Amino acid sequence: MEITPLSPTWIPQAAALDRECFSLPWSENALRSELSNENALWLAAVEGESLLGYVGAQISFEDADMMNLAVTPARRRQGVAAALVLALEEALAARGVTTLTLEVRASNAPAQALYQKLGYSQIARRPGYYLRPREDALLYRKELVP
């Protein structure tokens, strides 16, 4: 597995993965537009011709917000998500980002366990944040060390 910047080549697979993982997936156009956003950073986990997962964040000065983290179901619980998050943290810190936040569904215990294992702390709850189905989001934050 290799972690690399998400490139236009991987967009169709990323959009398909989004449709598989999320009830309100990003379109190919939305993902593609993020690649030209100078305030965004998107990484892919790839193996040969296969996209195993991807992660993206939007940057605002010294803060960043993780927008999406998706891993193909066949490769979950094999370290792909952790590798993506750690690579994202390192790349963001290199850009001067000191804080990374993210939202996660209140029912997504595996994701919460991953974030806690990686040093994130829950700082808030956002009632009714997610749609389809309506659900609270838990807000997590981590201070990044350059």
What residues contact 4, with CB distance under 8 A and at least 6 apart?
A: 43, 44, 46
Is 115 annotated in the active site?
yes
Give me 122's structure tokens: 């829950």
Residue 38 makes CB contacts below 8 A (sequence gap 6+) with none
The helix (H) or strand (E) run that includes residue 111 is helix 109-117
Question: Torsion-angle region of residue 143: left (phi > 0), alpha (psi -120 to 50) or beta?
Answer: beta
Q: Is 103 a catalytic residue?
A: yes
Give me the catalytic one of 54, 115, 120, 140. 115
Q: What is the DSSP letter of 24?
A: S
Given the residues 89, 103, 130, 140, the one annotated as active site: 103
So which residues are the catalytic ones?
A: 103, 115
